[in-house]
Amino acid sequence: MDKSRRSKNNESNWNHFSRLLFVCAVMVCGAASCDCAATDNATIVCPAYMECTKCTKTPSCSWSLSRQTCVDPAQKADGLMVYNDENCPRYAVHKPTVYSATVTMDYAYTVNVSNDVYGFLAFLNRTNVTCYEPETGAATAAVVTKDAIVCGSTKHSNTRAMAFRFYYMAFGDRSVLLRFDNRTDNYVTFYWDTLGCRDVAEYCATCLWDGPDGHVNRYDRCSSNNPCTHEMFEYLSVRSSRDYSSVLTGPVPVRVLGCHAMGVESVTPATGSWNGGTTVRIVVRNHNVLAEHRTVTVTVDGRNCAYPKTVDNETITCVTSPTAMASPMDGVVEVSYDTVRLATAPGTFRFVYPEVTTSSPACGPLRGGTQLRIEGMSLDISRAVRVFVGRQNMSCETIARGPRHIFCMTSPMPGGRSSTGPVSVLFDKVLSLRAVNAFTYTDDEPAIDKGQQFKGIASGGTTVPVRGTRFACVESAELHVVVQTSSRHISSSCAVRNDTYMVCRSPKLDVLSASETSTVLANLFFRLEFAGRVIDLSPQSDSPGYLLYADPEFIDFETVQNRVVIGGRGLDLGYEIADVAIRFQNASGACNVTKHTQHQIACDPSTLVPRTGDHVHSGDGVVVTIGDSFEYIVKKKSTRYNVYPVKIFSIFSGIKIFLIITTVLGSILFCVKTSMGNEDDVTDIINVQYCLSEDIRKSTAT
């Protein structure tokens, strides 16, 4: 016993200590302005929980047994604190169904207590516990035993065959209310029929819930077929959760929320057309009990659901009503039985509205006959649909319709004049929606501007800018180049940017020999899908055709004054500077190209960000990409053969000069010494000159 008590005390001390640690952590976190778990719990209001189990299952909340309140870590803790739901006391009210065949009966309200980990009953035994019965105004003293709280006996008079009584307990100065985890423990039902009332439960439904206004609610309803009262029975109790004082009683308007015994169990389907006509099937628990002698009405997302019909004891159907275009509500389905309303959670049902996004093509001939495709969502949700095109609202005959598209055929434009206007769709003669893009009736074809040169490299993939007029009506475009040697077409795609500009990609053409640098390919043209037909568009007569260049030849690169300079041949032919991208193997991003000439491409690497390490470097090579197809790794320029030979040559030259000077000086000394033994001065001078000239000749020869 002592060991068990010490174990529980140790657990209590540890829980209390851990809670203090949490409080300290929250205080430290707040002082440091850090992002900790307390931020996630900022919206939790612990005092809003009225039961021990709900309180202690909530993060950072704990239950005070002495105060019967839920507290947060910032509040002062006392010696009777519960920190997890496993240590909450368990209450079981001894309230067997009370039957009486007499006019009055005696009843003693008794609460059995188990799982008393922290000695709560011992605490109550040291205080005054009072039992209250608000309906009769009775207040009796309670006796606390080792495992129960027993109220004094009270008398109950026979007023109806079935009656409910509300009980609660208070202790201390009678301001602290004992809170049960199960709210039904506060209610006792009395019957004065010992036979018929035993099976009354299957004819009745009971709901208890906490209202958003802080009230504790109970609603009971029994059908007239119940064998106890033999008539429809209804009971409503609304009490303040703060002090259990009565707020409302009797059959008054009430909205039942979160009740299992009475509530909407399912709604099918979950969506319906915005214009009504959807049959909704609703399953309501105890519908047959609630519907007796009541008028049933249904609203779906704020709209009336017409013709409610009972299918069986728990199922009703209704049909959503048509309405004008309106903003969606909260998606709540509400079933009302006169004053009693059952509501679902928000988002249970959603009205679906059609959505129109785009239409294509953007243009069509004046004679009509263009098949128009309209994109969107839920385009088949309505019963009827009509499409109108242009400022004159020309009819477009619908030929097919699905959830995501509508196909229609344009009618001729009277008057034979070009016109641009919106594409609108009318759903069920009520809802009109427009596509984001317009439609143009026109017979004017696109044209290419003069003064343009079209070029590319052998690998292709570079940009070919094209300027002209009426490109907005082009649905798709291709650049076609005719190879002269084989007359075959090689094409690439184009993208229209606006009404006067489109960008094509140069095709890959392997037709140049190794010695060729460029060639002119004739019969360049553009194939366009325009106004529902395909046309081939040629450039103006001043265009030389398609000028093809060989791929650029890169040699090496070097770093000059914090710039990367790449050398090569033909580096400015067949593409623009915007086609060039240079990147380092250890950095992200592209080196900003600043120079583009025939023999050099230079870039500034200052904007690059290293992937690894602490600096950007080019390493042994940089990657040069031109367009979409050409890529080449350029190696770093080698300095090994340019520097060292110069140094070696300088060393050998110095040694040679030194040897020549040494030889000359040695020869002079030798000749002078030899000539000193000769008496003829003239002969000596001649010998010295000859000796020196021979020695110098030999030295320089070596």
Evaluate if residue 241 carries a pLDDT over 60: yes
User: How far apart are the C-alpha atoms of 93 and 146, rounded to whole Å?
Assistant: 15
The count of domains in the chain is 6
User: How far apart are the C-alpha atoms of 571 and 600, rounded to whole Å?
Assistant: 7
Least confident of 216-225, 256-265, 455-464: 256-265
pLDDT of 512 reads 64
- Say if 227 falls within a structural domain: yes
pLDDT of 443 reads 81
- Say if 381 falls within a structural domain: yes
Residue type, 214: G
pLDDT of 423 reads 96
Bigger pLDDT: 519 vs 7: 519
pLDDT of 20 reads 31
Q: What does the DSSP 8-state code read for residue 627?
A: T
Same domain, 149 and 229: yes
- Say if 162 falls within a structural domain: yes
Same domain, 96 and 232: yes
Evaluate if residue 679 carries a pLDDT over 50: no
Q: What is the rounded average pLDDT of the residues 421-442?
A: 92
Evaluate if residue 281 carries a pLDDT over 80: yes
Q: Which of 249, 275, 301 finishes a domain?
A: 249
User: How far apart are the C-alpha atoms of 492 and 463, rounded to whole Å?
Assistant: 11
Q: Which of 375, 407, 439 finishes a domain?
A: 439
Same domain, 346 and 374: no
Same domain, 241 and 337: no
User: How far apart are the C-alpha atoms of 285 and 265, rounded to whole Å?
Assistant: 7
Encoding tokens for residue 618? Answer: 């080019």
Helix or strand run (H / E) with residue 663: helix 640-675
Cis amide prior to 346 (ω within 30 degrees): no
Q: What is the rounded average pLDDT of the residues 223-241?
A: 87
Q: What is the rounded average pLDDT of the residues 57-78?
A: 86
Same domain, 364 and 381: yes
Residue type, 170: A
User: How far apart are the C-alpha atoms of 629 and 185, rounded to whole Å?
Assistant: 80
- Say if 200 falls within a structural domain: yes
Q: What is the rounded average pLDDT of the residues 621-633?
A: 91
pLDDT tens per residue, range 79-95: 799 999 999 999 998 76
Same domain, 129 and 239: yes
Phi-psi region of 678 (alpha: psi -120 to 50; beta: other; left: phi over 0): beta
Bigger pLDDT: 87 vs 639: 87
pLDDT tens per residue, range 135-177: 888 899 999 999 999 998 888 777 677 888 899 999 988 889 9
Same domain, 183 and 233: yes
pLDDT tens per residue, range 540-575: 988 888 888 989 999 999 988 888 999 999 898 999
Evaluate if residue 399 carries a pLDDT over 90: yes
Evaluate if residue 462 carries a pLDDT over 60: yes
Evaluate if residue 9 carries a pLDDT over 90: no
For the beta carbon of residue 374, count every other beta carbon within 10 angstroms.
Answer: 25
With bands split at pLDDT 50, 70 and 90, how would you rate the model's confidence at 195? Answer: low
Evaluate if residue 699 carries a pLDDT over 70: no
Least confident of 258-272, 332-346, 637-651, 671-685: 671-685
Evaluate if residue 105 carries a pLDDT over 80: no
Contact 435, 359 (CB under 8 A): yes
pLDDT of 10 reads 43
Contact 570, 552 (CB under 8 A): yes
Evaluate if residue 205 carries a pLDDT over 60: yes
Which CATH number does the domain housing residue 487 bear?
A: 2.60.40
Evaluate if residue 463 carries a pLDDT over 60: yes
Same domain, 295 and 385: no
Same domain, 119 and 216: yes
Evaluate if residue 697 carries a pLDDT over 80: no
With bands split at pLDDT 50, 70 and 90, how would you rate the model's confidence at 53? Answer: very high
pLDDT of 175 reads 85
What domain range includes position 239?
Answer: 89-249
Same domain, 120 and 197: yes
pLDDT of 621 reads 81
Evaluate if residue 96 carries a pLDDT over 50: yes
Which CATH number does the domain housing residue 307 bear?
A: 2.60.40.10
Same domain, 213 and 100: yes
Average pLDDT, the chain: 80
- Say if 680 falls within a structural domain: no
User: How far apart are the C-alpha atoms of 345 and 282, rounded to whole Å?
Assistant: 14
Handedness of CA 25, 27, 32, 33 (dihedral sign): positive
Same domain, 279 and 323: yes
Question: Cα 180 from chain centroid?
Answer: 42
- Say if 624 falls within a structural domain: yes
Least confident of 223-232, 294-303, 622-631: 223-232
Q: What is the rounded average pLDDT of the residues 677-686?
A: 43
Q: Which of 188, 221, 249 finishes a domain?
A: 249
- Say if 141 falls within a structural domain: yes
Bigger pLDDT: 515 vs 230: 230
